[in-house]
A and B are shown apart, each in its own frame.
Chain A
Amino acid sequence: MRAYKAKDNVQAKAYYTDRFYKSPQVPKSPPESDEVFNSDLEAIKSKFEVLDSFIQVEQLVVFINPKDNYGVLELMRDELEYSQLSEMSAIDWVADRGGFEVFYQLLSMNKRKRIRIKMFIKDGDALNSVEKLFRSADWSEREMFDMFGIEALGHPFMKRILMPYDWSGHPLLKTYPLQGDEAASWYEVDKIYGKEAREEIGPENRDSSRVDRYDSDRFSRLGHEVPKGTKITGDEPEVVQPYQEEGGVFLVKKFHKDSTTIVDDPQR
């Protein structure tokens, strides 16, 4: 099992240390290259501030200010025929930029186009709920709150959706350890038996393939076999395990340097 390392600075640190490595980028094209997208973008620009826009993988990406999210989505739904919110969530950039990127993925069935509305919000800031516009945002916003801790203002039931209500922490944050924090590892014990039961039940043994090298009852040490139940001290004699038994079933022919020939001619 891999040892757990703190991932507080996982975003600030580059994954690749090769100084000549250039990470592949998805090519972007200007929004003017698509007629439908261009007119949609002009409609948004006429009413709201657009920070950035480009077409990527045949989808228009529009960056807006977070305070405009309800207005832009209302415009998209009512005037530009983007009738479906197929997905929305956030991307954790806390370590890098001190906040989250929230995206709304919209689909227009009439135009057969997809647009992604993106905005950047600071860590701790809340967002306007778009649940009134798109019913699918109801659960998506709850999930966003559950996983990232981003609250949606005006949501009718702003509670966790996947994790239990009394859970602590937001699991999709990059700083949240995959194997859970202290509260997570004792969650079910605390809840069912109470905190005083922690000692009796014991910590989670998360490595089911763990081999205890000092346990001769259940494990044998290959090459250093001892009888069952022997106390292991560390200086057990080595027992060589030949892979080819003398006179046994043939497995592998041993390589002898003397009986080989060196091929000089590559064209042989």
Chain B
Amino acid sequence: MAQHKVNYTQDGGLPVALTSIDKIVNWGRSNSLWALTYGLACCGIEMMASGASRYDFDRFGTIFRASPRQADVMIVAGTLTKKHAEFIKRLYDQMTEPRWVISMGSCANTGGMFNTYATVQGVDRVIPVDLYLPGCAPRPETLQYGVMLLQQKIRSKQASKAQKAKRLM
């Protein structure tokens, strides 16, 4: 017969961790950031590389999902055209709260070098953005660091109070 005996006074103390609701909720949220697969242009290749074995986003709990309803963070990777702008808004609206947006690369940030009639001059004209990543295209390390910054941002916010939803207007 196996005997399970925990000596609470010897083995590192009681198996109890004291925390606050904020911290534990944010711990959960920040460590399972499921990202919406949103490769619009060449930045999408870097985003895929970030998800693949060498950079391995799975170890951050960042798993790419193909549905906005299962995603927490939208990584806008690439040039947003004016024709596509209404769809990015629709997909953003379909994501459940709380939701975050990473604008990846010059084109998503400001329109980049596409200073033309057909390109949205920055996704923040359409949806609210939490984090801007510079670069053309940013290296996977940049995206990795960006996700870590977003995790920090999530952890620094209160979770228990009803978070004010981000609105562009």
Given A179-B116, A180-B117, A189-B125, residue A201 in contact with residue B169 (CB < 8 A): yes
Evaluate contact between B110 and A208: CB separation under 8 angstroms.
yes
Report which of A187, A188, A193, A206 forms a contact with B169, defined as CB distance below 8 A. Answer: A193
Chain A residues near B111 (CB, 8 Å)?
A: 204, 206, 208
* A192 at the binding interface (Cβ < 8 Å): yes
Write the residues of chain A forming the contact surface with B, with a CB cutoff of 8 angstroms. Answer: 1, 163-164, 171, 176-181, 184-185, 187-189, 191-193, 197, 200-201, 204-208
Provide the bound-state CA to CA distance between A201 and B168, in Å: 8
Q: Chain B interface: which size bin?
A: 20 to 34
Provide the bound-state CA to CA distance between A208 and B132, in Å: 14
* B30 at the binding interface (Cβ < 8 Å): no
Evaluate contact between B86 and A171: CB separation under 8 angstroms.
no
Evaluate contact between A188 and B116: CB separation under 8 angstroms.
no
Report which of A1, A178, A193 forms a contact with B116, defined as CB distance below 8 A. Answer: A178
Evaluate contact between B86 and A188: CB separation under 8 angstroms.
yes
* B149 at the binding interface (Cβ < 8 Å): no
Q: What's the nearest-Cβ distance from chain B to residue A63, in Å? A: 32
Evaluate contact between A188 and B110: CB separation under 8 angstroms.
no
Evaluate contact between A164 and B169: CB separation under 8 angstroms.
no
Q: Interface of chain A, helix or strand or loop or mixed?
A: loop
Report which of A179, A189, A192 forms a contact with B117, defined as CB distance below 8 A. Answer: A179
Evaluate contact between A206 and B86: CB separation under 8 angstroms.
no
Provide the bound-state CA to CA distance between A2 and B127, in Å: 29
Evaluate contact between A208 and B118: CB separation under 8 angstroms.
no
* B94 at the binding interface (Cβ < 8 Å): no
Chain A residues near B122 (CB, 8 Å)?
A: 205
Q: What's the nearest-Cβ distance from chain B to residue A179, in Å? A: 6
Provide the bound-state CA to CA distance between A190 and B122, in Å: 16
Given A188-B126, A189-B125, A201-B169, residue A164 in contact with residue B83 (CB < 8 A): yes
Chain A residues near B169 (CB, 8 Å)?
A: 193, 197, 200-201
Provide the bound-state CA to CA distance between A181 and B168, in Å: 24
Evaluate contact between A191 and B116: CB separation under 8 angstroms.
no
Provide the bound-state CA to CA distance between A171 and B121, in Å: 18
Evaluate contact between B115 and A164: CB separation under 8 angstroms.
no
* B76 at the binding interface (Cβ < 8 Å): no
Chain A residues near B118 (CB, 8 Å)?
A: 163, 171, 180, 184
* B89 at the binding interface (Cβ < 8 Å): yes
Provide the bound-state CA to CA distance between A137 and B118, in Å: 24
Residue of B nearest to A171 (CB): B117
Evaluate contact between B168 and A163: CB separation under 8 angstroms.
no
Provide the bound-state CA to CA distance between A207 and B111, in Å: 9
Provide the bound-state CA to CA distance between A180 and B126, in Å: 18
Evaluate contact between A163 and B83: CB separation under 8 angstroms.
yes
Given A201-B169, A206-B111, A208-B111, residue A188 in contact with residue B117 (CB < 8 A): no
Residue of A nearest to B115 (CB): A206
